A and B are shown apart, each in its own frame.
Chain A
Amino acid sequence: MTQALSVRLAADIGGTFTDIAAFDEETGRLSFGKKLSTPDALVDGIEMGVGEAGIKFADANLFLHGTTVAINTILERTGANTALVITEGFRDVYEIGRVNRPDAYNLFFKKHVPLVERALRFEINERMYAEGEVYRPLIDAEVEALAEKLGAMGIEATAILFLHSYRNPDHEIRAKAIFERVNPGMFVTVSHELSQEYREFERVSTVAANAYIGPKVRSYLNGIEERISAEGFGGSFLVVQSTGGLYEVAQAKNDCVHMLESGPAAGVIGTKALCDVLEIEDAISFDMGGTTAKSGVISGGVPLTTGSALIGGYDQALPIQVAMMDIAEVGTGGGSIAHLSDGGSLRVGPESAGARPGPVCYGLGGTEPTVTDANLVLGRLAADRFLGGDMQLDASAAEAAIKKRIADPLGMDVIAAADGILKIAATAMSYAVKAVSTERGLDAASFAMVAIGGAGPLHASDVAREIGMGRIIIPQAPGHFSAFGMLFSDLRYDYVRTWPIRLADADFGDIEPIYAEMEDAGRAAIERTSINAGETVIQRAADMRYVGQEHAVTVDLSLAYFSNQDRDGIKAEFDRVHEIRYGTSAPAEQAEIVSLRSAVTGTMQKPPLEPIEAGAEAPVDAAKAGSRRIYFGEETGFVDTPAYNRSHFLAGNRIEGPAVIDEHASTTLIEPGDFAIVDAYGNLVISVHGINAEMAAERRDSAS
């Protein structure tokens, strides 16, 4: 066979749907498939979706995959029989955690439950000093005896953490080698391979999670590999990490915790890809689904990442200390339930009706009114066009529920109550957007919003108004955006080394080898892949703080600071970042470095976005789909609103608000006074009326 394979396939497995996106480099064709996820045999869903997209595995040279298998294994507690091996005196660190009690007045408060029970947490007599010198040497025979014991107990996975391994990993390296020699079939993972940062609880939680999900993720990935190679796939299989970057399947089978948040991260990568094409530097993704709304941010063309995240609700969360996309989440989605509190106030969420029983209007037994029910009552959703008309919604049941549960007890009109539910939901969701922008010192109003997820386009205008954002972009197929985003990912390896030192005392001769070691590891990892990555891009950063301060901020540092040995420049950059983020800085105070970070990216060729056919300013008749009565607030009441079918839009079409635009898994609402332009690539670009000048003036006032 001489013909080069040219198809890049991406598969995103979510809780409900498996989304497939395929890009043919030769023809430039993008195609999509969407199938219900098949929980018992996830691979079947991929195959069906690929079939639907009209692609054969044998034609593909790249298979990119994001999956919820890792996170679900933790949330559903279905992982391996796992043991933890830790420095003597510290096996309870995993259970004690950080001793905090966020739910401070609740005597029935909960605490995180470790993935490894106490009976399976074992101690080894060894110890390093904080400086990395040996305090108590590791005795190989003790490790070997324990390895044999755990093997005999039928332990499937072992996590190993020794204190200060971020400073000197020698004991962890030796213990791992002994465990692997004694128990060749066991999944063995050590903390420094995942995180070289201090904080023993966070690191133990990370390495234990990796062990706990390891065997299952490994066999899942093996299963996919076997199936796709049986289908004739001979290319590279890459997995999406929580940073949105890709890593090779061989590494994904060992460092499994890196893929926990691959789906949401891919949504942000898709946002970035879109922004690159549209030449937008600053954008916020607004991703609203059934139970939550999430936001990530692209600032100066770069998605913002963070060094750790919490899995599960805050009070019972398990921390994972690896690089991740910085995503804020609030518990408001289409399924969020509206209810009255004991004191008689109106609340929306965080309880959700989920998919079953779901909103009242689904007719599946739900009795509590939700955000989706309110949308239906106000005409924003069409009863007969949900999921392309596959599912008929019951508007009168939705109205009756809102009346009975909310409007009557509050003495409100049912329409005002439904409108109120949506207003409360919009303000609640605006806090997710603000959390990644305003609270980071970024001016959200100057950002574009990219609205994705099934419910994102329906609520985007309300949320944007709440924050004062003037431009909203609704990409094509917003409900399937994660798989699309994966097609734009690059290979990426993130490293961090805890290395505390005062900036004034830091010797560039010492710093350089630390970065170089991380970057060599990154380059080697990229080399090992069979991908012919283009340019390798190095991004450096340091976690810094003022001497005496506790919390460090991550400061991105261009390579020039290091080649010029520009200590003052680094200090000035830190002062600047601190000022932006917190509104204060102390240029006269000394700064110190806590950790050094490096991200090594192997850039991959991106699919170009294909322009769609151009048309006139007025949409063609085929795009018009009658009208419906939609409520836009007290002043306007219900308004006869033209409805459109998005699939018939042509580039250059201009749609005046009010208007409603339906597509298969999503609905976009254009409010009165706003308008949307269909851009060259088929994106809807909404201009939010009148809000910019007003909000800008307000910001000036409040800043002065």
Chain B
Amino acid sequence: MSKTKYPATNPVTTEIVRNGVIAVTEEMKTNLMRTAYNTIIYEALDFTTGLFTASGETISIGIGLPMFIRGMSETVKAKLNHFGAENIHPGDILVTNDAYTTGSHLNHVTFSIPVFEDGELIAFACCMAHWIDIGGTLGGMTTDIFSEGLQIPICKYADKGEVNTLLEDIIRMNVRIPSRAMGDLRAQLTAIKTGERRFLELVHRYGKDAVLQSISAIMDNAEAAARKRTLTIPDGVYEAESFMDDDGVSVGKPVPIRVRVEVKGDELTVDLTNVSEQVRGFYNSGKTAGYACAQVAFKCLTSPTDYPINDGAFRNLNVILPPGKVISAVRPAAMRWWMTFPMTVIDTVFKAMTPAIPDRVIAGHHADLVVCMLHGINPKTKEFFMANFGPQGGGWGAKRSEDGISGTVCINDGDTHNSPNEQTEAKAPVIVERYALIPDSGGAGEYRGGLGVERIVRARYNSVFNTQVDRVHCTPWGLEGGGAAMGNGVALELEGEWKDDFANAKVLTAELKAGEAFSLRAGGGGGFGNPYARPPEKVQNDVRQGYVSLDNARDLYGVALDAETLEIDNTETGKLRGG
């Protein structure tokens, strides 16, 4: 990653173009969401839209998924590499869902449209979105890519305006609900065409050269800011480790996550060499996901609120990641649940950086989408239904100066929404019995971790349940003396009995009879600092609100409260805390 100069292009035009490209990607995002056919795009925002330079560098991405910070740029570069720029023409639309290119699963179908001005290729507008089904086995575990569905190699969906109908037919024949797939495909085309049109409007308004030079200045400014902030991190080598429960195949065998960060002046290196080798179960992801781990962590620590997200901000970030790791997996590794492990990699980077910048890091979080699915046949309508639940939100870690946030989506996702329970019930034959915070699920600390969330759902008809949740055993850790939080978990109510003694939280297929229920639990966030340093009044309020139980107030925080009035017993508290 190269050093660059900071040229004095006109700062006014640069700022106008900066606002312009942000607006373009936001509108692409809005149009995709509003026209999409599935909740995963519309509510879960499992998509990314963006503008890229003619060489595939990120100019601006409209984030649905923070974790997709790297994947689209690499996909554009792969497309360029495949065809050669000279073979990309106006009217072309390029597509692929190759998991080892995007770094994620086959559901992420990625479309790109080249943007031409005066016959010159000046940019790409792209859109990745999660299709609800791409074929492959329904539920259960996969151990290679071939059982995960249709693979679309890099190809042209449209060639000089001519749509490839054979490709459309192949897609229709390989997915379970073709009308939805084609609906989402149309929504993606709307998004990229919006991007093309609006970007050209910018070019016409301010001039091609001004826009392209401004884009390069925006990236240079982003680099300057990233370097400036990296300089504020003390030089050194920082390391941490954690683990995943298992890969879903070798149940009970932990998967190690070890990270090493080296800071030297204004450069930062994330070394992921010692992250686990790729695994048999479907928790692998490609190398762009591994790079994304480093980029997400780096952005959180250096330029969290700078927009647009562009590749300039990562020029001083180096990533060491050999192929064949669980986050740089190679064909034919199974990738369907690609998104889970990278979140813990990011959390582990924050953990490593704690000695260097304790005021900027965060304790561990629930680090899993905590989603599940029910499918079956509705006996009334005879229609096949597939109900996705989630992401239900869980606890986030505390920081050196703030409590953790409760009930919020994990770091893989950003502006992702849950579905209203009223809507879920209108669409699928279920009763949601409970959607609630879990008391005592946040890690204790001077700053308390956020609370996790439980959802209990009862099936009205016979259905099949599956979930793939991790981080049951490696619970969200505390920092600087803060306690760990409750981990994630699952339970089933079968024949009137609750069963929750699973080895992990991966229930890959379970039949639920009418009237039976499942409970999915998203864990909390870790605490920060010694719980005894938390002011007793804050602990008292936590108990009053039901965030912390009386017992935990006493046992973990050393605060004695009257069980009835919740008055603080100062003498007893002094004894408990003073020892």
Q: What residue in chain B is nearest A412 (Cβ atoms)?
A: B11
Binds B, one of A106-114, A152-160, A620-628: A106-114
Nearest-neighbour CB distance to chain A for B420, whole angstroms, equals 4
Contact bitstring B378-408, A, C-beta under 8 A = 1, else 0: 0000000000000111000001001001111
Q: What residues of chain B lie closer than 8 Å to A171, measured between beta carbons?
A: none
Q: Does B2 contact A (CB under 8 A)?
A: no
Structural contact, B402 and A702, CB atoms closer than 8 A: no
Nearest-neighbour CB distance to chain B for A221, whole angstroms, equals 33
Binds A, one of B31-39, B78-86, B492-500, B531-539: B31-39
Structural contact, A118 and B547, CB atoms closer than 8 A: yes
Q: Does B183 contact A (CB under 8 A)?
A: yes
Nearest-neighbour CB distance to chain B for A249, whole angstroms, equals 33
Q: Does B94 contact A (CB under 8 A)?
A: no
Q: What residues of chain B lie closer than 8 Å to A88, measured between beta carbons?
A: 434
Q: Does A550 contact B (CB under 8 A)?
A: yes
Q: Which of B226, B413, B435: most chain A Cβ within 10 A?
A: B435
**How long is the Cα–Cα vector from A90 to B393 in the complex, in angstroms?**
15
Structural contact, A89 and B416, CB atoms closer than 8 A: no
Binds A, one of B247-255, B300-308, B473-481: B300-308
Q: What residues of chain B lie closer than 8 Å to A101, measured between beta carbons?
A: 408-409, 413-416
**Within B433-482, which residues are at the interface with A (CB < 8 Å)?**
433-437, 453, 456
Structural contact, A582 and B414, CB atoms closer than 8 A: no
Q: What residues of chain A lie closer than 8 Å to B305, measured between beta carbons?
A: 103, 105-106
Q: Does A279 contact B (CB under 8 A)?
A: no
Q: Does A527 contact B (CB under 8 A)?
A: no
Q: What residue in chain A is nearest B414 (Cβ atoms)?
A: A104
**Within B285-318, which residues are at the interface with A (CB < 8 Å)?**
296, 299-300, 303-306
Inter-chain residue pair count (beta carbon < 8 A): 240
**How long is the Cα–Cα vector from A411 to B16 in the complex, in angstroms?**
18
Nearest-neighbour CB distance to chain B for A481, whole angstroms, equals 27
Given known A89-B433, A702-B201, contact A130–B425 (CB-CB < 8 A): yes
Name B42's contact: one of A342, A434, A551 (CB within 8 Å). Answer: A551
Q: Does A3 contact B (CB under 8 A)?
A: no
Q: What residue in chain B is nearest A421 (Cβ atoms)?
A: B12
Name A584's contact: one of B35, B41, B435, B436 (CB within 8 Å). Answer: B35
Structural contact, A702 and B200, CB atoms closer than 8 A: yes
Q: Does B30 contact A (CB under 8 A)?
A: yes
Structural contact, B544 and A99, CB atoms closer than 8 A: no
Structural contact, B190 and A198, CB atoms closer than 8 A: no
**Within B1-37, which residues are at the interface with A (CB < 8 Å)?**
6, 8, 11-12, 14-16, 18-20, 23, 27, 30-31, 33-37
**How long is the Cα–Cα vector from A202 to B436 in the complex, in angstroms?**
16
Given known A551-B33, A584-B190, A702-B200, contact A341–B221 (CB-CB < 8 A): yes
Q: Does B66 contact A (CB under 8 A)?
A: yes
Of the four ranges (under 10, 10 to 19, 20 to 34, 35 or more), the interface on chain B belongs to: 35 or more
Q: What residue in chain B is nearest A588 (Cβ atoms)?
A: B179
Q: Does B546 contact A (CB under 8 A)?
A: yes
Structural contact, B34 and A582, CB atoms closer than 8 A: yes
Structural contact, A198 and B423, CB atoms closer than 8 A: yes
Structural contact, B435 and A551, CB atoms closer than 8 A: no
Structural contact, A100 and B200, CB atoms closer than 8 A: no
Given known A107-B399, A347-B15, contact A589–B179 (CB-CB < 8 A): yes
Given known A98-B418, A99-B408, contact A427–B20 (CB-CB < 8 A): yes
Given known A100-B417, A119-B546, A549-B35, contact A431–B15 (CB-CB < 8 A): no
Name A200's contact: one of B16, B414, B416, B422 (CB within 8 Å). Answer: B422
**How long is the Cα–Cα vector from A549 to B66 in the complex, in angstroms?**
24
Q: Does B218 contact A (CB under 8 A)?
A: yes
Q: What residue in chain B is nearest A422 (Cβ atoms)?
A: B12
Q: Does B180 contact A (CB under 8 A)?
A: yes
Q: Does B362 contact A (CB under 8 A)?
A: yes
Structural contact, B229 and A198, CB atoms closer than 8 A: no
Q: What residues of chain A lie closer than 8 Å to B189, measured between beta carbons?
A: 584
Q: What residues of chain A lie closer than 8 Å to B15, measured between beta carbons?
A: 345-348, 420, 424
Q: Does B271 contact A (CB under 8 A)?
A: no
Q: Does B565 contact A (CB under 8 A)?
A: no
Q: What residues of chain B lie closer than 8 Å to A106, measured between beta carbons?
A: 300, 304-305
Q: Does A223 contact B (CB under 8 A)?
A: no
Given known A427-B19, A702-B201, A702-B204, contact A89–B435 (CB-CB < 8 A): yes
Given known A96-B453, A163-B422, contact A701–B304 (CB-CB < 8 A): no
Q: Does A102 contact B (CB under 8 A)?
A: yes
A-side binding surface: helix, strand, loop or mixed?
A: loop
Q: What residues of chain B lie closer than 8 Å to A343, measured between beta carbons?
A: 220-226, 228, 306
**How long is the Cα–Cα vector from A200 to B436 in the complex, in angstroms?**
13
**How long is the Cα–Cα vector from A410 to B432 in the complex, in angstroms?**
58
Q: Does A612 contact B (CB under 8 A)?
A: no
Q: What residue in chain B is nearest A583 (Cβ atoms)?
A: B190
Structural contact, B180 and A548, CB atoms closer than 8 A: yes
Q: What residues of chain B lie closer than 8 Å to A508, measured between beta carbons?
A: none
Structural contact, B201 and A698, CB atoms closer than 8 A: yes
**How long is the Cα–Cα vector from A166 to B350 in the complex, in angstroms?**
45
**How long is the Cα–Cα vector from A550 to B120 in the complex, in angstroms?**
38
Name A423's contact: one of B12, B27, B45, B201 (CB within 8 Å). Answer: B12
Q: Does B193 contact A (CB under 8 A)?
A: yes
Given known A439-B27, A583-B193, A584-B190, contact A198–B437 (CB-CB < 8 A): no
Structural contact, A102 and B544, CB atoms closer than 8 A: no
Structural contact, A549 and B37, CB atoms closer than 8 A: yes
Q: What residue in chain A is nearest B455 (Cβ atoms)?
A: A89
**Within A326-353, which residues are at the interface with B (CB < 8 Å)?**
341-348
Structural contact, A427 and B16, CB atoms closer than 8 A: yes
Given known A135-B431, A582-B190, A584-B189, contact A102–B415 (CB-CB < 8 A): yes
**How long is the Cα–Cα vector from A108 to B397 in the complex, in angstroms?**
10
Contact bitstring B192-229, A, C-beta under 8 A = 1, else 0: 01100100110011000000000001101111111011
Q: Does A93 contact B (CB under 8 A)?
A: yes
Given known A199-B423, A345-B14, A412-B11, contact A92–B436 (CB-CB < 8 A): yes
Nearest-neighbour CB distance to chain B for A272, whole angstroms, equals 26
Name A130's contact: one of B417, B418, B426 (CB within 8 Å). Answer: B426
Q: Does A642 contact B (CB under 8 A)?
A: no
**How long is the Cα–Cα vector from A202 to B19 in the complex, in angstroms?**
30
Q: Does A179 contact B (CB under 8 A)?
A: no
Q: Does B72 contact A (CB under 8 A)?
A: no
Q: Does A127 contact B (CB under 8 A)?
A: yes
Nearest-neighbour CB distance to chain A for B316, whole angstroms, equals 12
Q: What residues of chain B lie closer than 8 Å to A137, measured between beta carbons?
A: none
Structural contact, B218 and A345, CB atoms closer than 8 A: yes
Q: Does B43 contact A (CB under 8 A)?
A: yes
**How long is the Cα–Cα vector from A423 to B17 in the complex, in angstroms?**
11
Q: Does A91 contact B (CB under 8 A)?
A: yes
Name A548's contact: one of B183, B204, B399, B547 (CB within 8 Å). Answer: B183
**How long is the Cα–Cα vector from A542 to B27 in the complex, in angstroms?**
24
**How long is the Cα–Cα vector from A287 to B190 in the complex, in angstroms?**
31
Q: Does A164 contact B (CB under 8 A)?
A: yes
Q: What residue in chain A is nearest B433 (Cβ atoms)?
A: A89
Q: What residues of chain B lie closer than 8 Å to A537, measured between beta carbons?
A: none
Q: What residues of chain A lie closer than 8 Å to B223, measured between beta carbons?
A: 343
Q: What residue in chain A is nearest B407 (Cβ atoms)?
A: A96
**Within A456-508, which residues are at the interface with B (CB < 8 Å)?**
466, 500
**How long is the Cα–Cα vector from A419 to B413 in the complex, in angstroms?**
40
**How long is the Cα–Cα vector from A118 to B422 in the complex, in angstroms?**
21
Q: What residues of chain B lie closer than 8 Å to A412, measured between beta carbons?
A: 11
Q: What residues of chain B lie closer than 8 Å to A140, measured between beta carbons?
A: none
Could you show 25 A-B contacts with beta carbons less than 8 Å apart?
Answer: A99-B391, A99-B417, A100-B417, A101-B409, A104-B415, A105-B300, A105-B304, A105-B414, A107-B361, A119-B545, A127-B431, A343-B221, A343-B224, A343-B306, A344-B225, A345-B18, A410-B11, A428-B19, A500-B426, A548-B183, A550-B36, A550-B42, A583-B190, A584-B186, A703-B197
If A98-B417, A198-B423, A548-B180 are given as contacts, then 9 extra A-B residue pairs at C-beta distance below 8 Å, sorted by A number, are A96-B453, A102-B415, A119-B544, A202-B420, A345-B14, A424-B16, A549-B36, A550-B36, A550-B39
> Lowest 6 A-B CB distances belong to which pairs?
A104-B414, A99-B393, A420-B12, A343-B221, A343-B225, A550-B42
